[in-house]
Structure 1
Amino acid sequence: MPAFPNLRLCAALLPFGLINCAQAAPAFDAESPWMLGDFGGARTALSQQGYDFKFDYTGEMGSNLHGGSDHDRTARYSDQFGLGTHLDLQKILGWHDAEFQLTVTERSGNNITNDRVNDPRVGGFTSSQEVWGRGQTWRLTQMWYQQKFFDQKLDIKAGRFGEGEDFNSFPCDFQNLAFCGSQVGNWVGSIWYNWPVSQWALRVKYHLTPELYAQVGAYEQNPSNLDRG
């Protein structure tokens, strides 16, 4: 998942191909990068000093119109709130090429796949609503420090994050989980943790050229990271 450059509020009805991301400055001004406005210039001033914040919301609705395990027609709604901050530590503390990311997420709702598309007695591997996965609860999704060296050729990230952020990454442009996010986590989720689950981790990347890099990562393997408590 991406870092959090600005404050924005997004509502999505992905199964119908409708996406509405309002941006503003005064509030709801289409020319502004912030939906809720610049707060009298405060957001711009904070961004210039290295402090960026984000609040976002994603809602996904699914309905089984025909077929599936249960032919009874109904709909399910799932959503996710995200709260985050990205700190440019070079601007804040004078640490060259250093940054910090903190993200907390909360998921709630129901998934149409669980009791309509798939047979509940056997379950399934994927989900029609990707924001439903990994439990309906609050999670510490990101808490990492990143430092670059040697003119940004060497890039080290340490803290709490998922494997899918840096390995087997895949853009999340669809609502169905089979077309969204790092696929390894969808099929072997007891081993590979994607957003919104985090774990203690270290990732080291070296750019051989601007277009070519090699990287290696070490990740904590702890099933309790999947708990909702």
Structure 2
Amino acid sequence: MADVGGGISLGIDYVHELTLQTQFDLGKLVGLDGWTIHTLLMERVGREVSHDRVGDYNISLMEVYSLSGHSVAHLTDMYAQKSFLHNTVDLAFGRMALTHVFATSPLLCSFMMTCSAPVAIKLDAGFSVYPKATWGGRVRLRPTRDTIVQVGAYSVSPLNEDISGWAWAGEKSTGLMLPVEFTWQPFFGRRKLAGHYVLGFAHDTTRYSDNIGSVPVGTARPHSGEARDTFYLEADQMLYRKGGANQMAGGYILGGYIHNTPDVSVISDEFYIGSSLLGIIPHRPHDRFGVMYSYYRISPRTELGERLRMDAGMPLGAHVNGPQTHAAVLEAYYGVPVYPGILIQPEFEYMMRPDETSHIPNAELVGLKVIGTL
């Protein structure tokens, strides 16, 4: 991805990800019918254009670099799974990312910014986001054809801890993440236009320090440690069906809203709205075009602390140019499946208010994303 205008430096950054995914059928191996073991190993290498070129350290514009940076052989998944009662109950436990099943969808991962979850969720340590795995488990219930309820419990550890994914004994646990999510998946009309309407809540028992930070004596008093809650609402609706019966065979509109406890979260509020449209160019039935606008509000408590330090002549912190308030990103892509298993996807991103201030010019970026599945 290249910064071609604005930001702090024009130029190109490159990243790649290699993954090896396996699935073991324990019924065939040891006689435990219905049980499977899932594992995923990953390598990531490259540079992050957000840091190098744009000047933003909160919002990652290149999904592959993401949270972990360089990883030669990162263990992302190792968990067991089994379905019961005609697939109405599904159990999984082991080492896994919480956002494999909570606050995510295939549509979100067709975009760079929101894969595998919206940014306001990615930045919270309690939400272990791919490739950050943690010990945990979840139960998914399907009481009717169109409804799903799932609950989970996951250990919380800092996002930058155990970068390899293998150092289990040295991984520090700070609390427990307890998510619950309700999904309604209706099918409308004779064309069975699929919709997904998700309401979720998660409570992180970890006690986090106040975002206000160090401030001049007498100006404000930091709050004592506080737990973090996250509320999210995500929705998508198929507008037309084209080229098949599966849930990605068509065009969608989508949107979402996330709210985090403001005093102890990097981003207190986010909303996004967009569309993902299949086959909009004649004779190109499998191409997909997507566009999304995302808005991010930095915690007001963070802004207050930075304003107090600035007024007192104190340093604001590394990579901070002024009191941080909000930012927005417009993303567009056009995905072309050039061969079975090969997807070529040109990307465009326009970031407004890098570093969540007005000190850095808005940045224009273009790039190319290539996915190969063997």
Q: 1:160 to 1:95 in 2, by over 3 A?
A: same
SS of aligned partner of 1:196: coil
In the alignment, what sits opposite 1:64?
3
The one-letter code of the counterpart of 1:139 is H
In the alignment, what sits opposite 1:115?
52
| Counterpart selection for 1:218 from 153, 157, 163 | 153
What is the deviation of 1:203? 0.4
Q: Does 1:182 align with 2:117?
A: yes
Equivalent residues of 1:164, 1:185 under 8 A apart:
no
Equivalent residues of 2:125, 2:156 under 8 A apart:
no
Equivalent residues of 1:85, 1:101 under 8 A apart:
yes
After TM superposition, the score normalised by the length of structure 1 is 0.64
Percent same amino acid at aligned positions?
29
2-structure distance, mates of 1:147, 1:112: 40
| Counterpart selection for 1:124 from 57, 63, 67 | 57
Query: RMSD in angstroms over aligned alpha carbons?
Result: 2.0
What is the deviation of 1:93? 3.3
What is the deviation of 1:75? 0.7
SS of aligned partner of 2:64: helix
In the alignment, what sits opposite 1:27?
none
After TM superposition, the score normalised by the length of structure 2 is 0.40
Q: 1:92 to 1:148 in 2, by over 3 A?
A: same
| Counterpart selection for 1:85 from 13, 16, 22 | 22
Equivalent residues of 2:125, 2:157 under 8 A apart:
no
Q: 1:96 to 1:152 in 2, by over 3 A?
A: farther
SS of aligned partner of 1:97: coil
Equivalent residues of 1:158, 1:201 under 8 A apart:
yes
1-structure distance, mates of 2:163, 2:122: 20
1-structure distance, mates of 2:159, 2:116: 22
Any idea what the Cα deviations from partners look like across 1:77-123, whole Å, max 9, x if unmatched? 001111121122233333232211011111111111112112xxxx4
2-structure distance, mates of 1:164, 1:219: 11
In the alignment, what sits opposite 1:94?
31
Any idea what the Cα deviations from partners look like across 1:178-206, whole Å, max 9, x if unmatched? 23211156553322111111000010111
Rg larger in structure: 2
Q: Does 1:106 align with 2:43?
A: yes
Q: 1:96 to 1:212 in 2, by over 3 A?
A: farther
Equivalent residues of 1:168, 1:184 under 8 A apart:
no
Q: 1:213 to 1:224 in 2, by over 3 A?
A: closer
Higher helix share: 1
Q: Does 1:166 align with 2:101?
A: yes
Q: 1:187 to 1:154 in 2, by over 3 A?
A: closer
Q: Does 1:148 align with 2:83?
A: yes
2-structure distance, mates of 1:136, 1:204: 32
Give the gaps of 5 or more residues in structure 1.
1-61
Equivalent residues of 1:182, 1:194 under 8 A apart:
yes
2-structure distance, mates of 1:161, 1:77: 27
In the alignment, what sits opposite 1:18?
none
In the alignment, what sits opposite 2:69?
135
Higher strand share: 2
State how many pairs are aligned.
Answer: 160
Q: 1:225 to 1:153 in 2, by over 3 A?
A: farther
SS of aligned partner of 1:164: helix
Q: 1:186 to 1:218 in 2, by over 3 A?
A: closer
The one-letter code of the counterpart of 2:37 is F
What is the deviation of 1:69? 2.4
Equivalent residues of 1:198, 1:225 under 8 A apart:
no
The one-letter code of the counterpart of 1:65 is V
1-structure distance, mates of 2:117, 2:94: 19
